Amino acid sequence: MSQTVFTALVLTLGIFWTGLLMFLATGFIIRPLQQLEIVVNKAAEGNLSDEVNLKLSNDEIYDIGQAFNRMLQNMRDIIMTIEENTNKANECMLQISNLADNAFRHSSHISQTIDEISEGAENSAAAIEDTAESIEHVLVLAGDVREKALHSKRLSETMVEALDGTSEATVGLIKGLERLVEQNG
């Protein structure tokens, strides 16, 4: 065999074996990267339940896979915390809404009762004033009753205004919690 043919054969076999070894080594390096790519794509689509399962090795690909697994776990923890806070905020909003409804019903009932008391007191005062022309003592008594009724009316109106203010503050709190829920969402 001539030296040229021998050299060509050795070079051809060298290229063949180098290519084969590169193909095998590339498969060994690329396979973990492909597994990492699959899990990263799932995470990008919103599926955070999978993790990268790589064989224990002391290379950068293994370190990246482990770091990505830790990042996924942190994201799952953050999402769980957000869900818990959202649930708690929803419960608080329901309680506040129920309390606001109760306060509004009570204030409406109190206002109606005050109106009835005021009307009754005014009617009583008018009847007593008609009768008071003949009896001075009854007139003094009627005046006292009327003053006490008006005082009660003023106190009741003050209480209704305070309850209305509380109702507005409660509605403001509910709106604030709704904005918080929207921001958390």
The segment with the largest mean pLDDT, out of 9-13, 44-48, 114-118, 162-166, is: 9-13
> Mean pLDDT across the stretch 63-70?
86
Q: Give CA–CA dist 53/159, Å, rounded.
A: 67
Q: Which residue has the higher pLDDT, 74 or 149?
A: 74
pLDDT at 121 over 70: yes
Q: Is residue 136 part of a domain?
A: yes
Dihedral sign computed on CA atoms, order 125, 127, 133, 138? negative
pTM, two decimal places: 0.45
End-to-end CA distance of the chain: 79
Count the domains in the chain: 1
Q: Is it the case that residue 134 has pLDDT exceeding 70? A: no
Q: Is residue 142 part of a domain?
A: yes
Contacts of 90 (CB under 8 A, 6+ apart): 181
Residue 67 counted as domain residue: no
Q: Who contacts 40 (Cβ-Cβ below 8 Å, separation ≥6)?
A: 68
Q: Is residue 65 part of a domain?
A: no
- Domain range holding 120? 86-184
Tell me the H-state helices in 45-59: none
Domain membership flag for residue 108: yes
Q: How many CB atoms lie within 10 A of CB 171?
A: 14
Report yes or no on 124 lying in a domain: yes
Q: What is the pLDDT of residues 3-35, one digit of tens each?
A: 999 999 999 999 999 988 888 777 777 777 888
Q: Taking CA 23 as the corner, what is the angle to CA 20 and CA 29, rounded to the nearest 5 degrees?
A: 145
Distance between CA atoms of residues 141 and 137, nearest Å: 6
Looking at residue 53, the DSSP 8-state letter turns out to be -
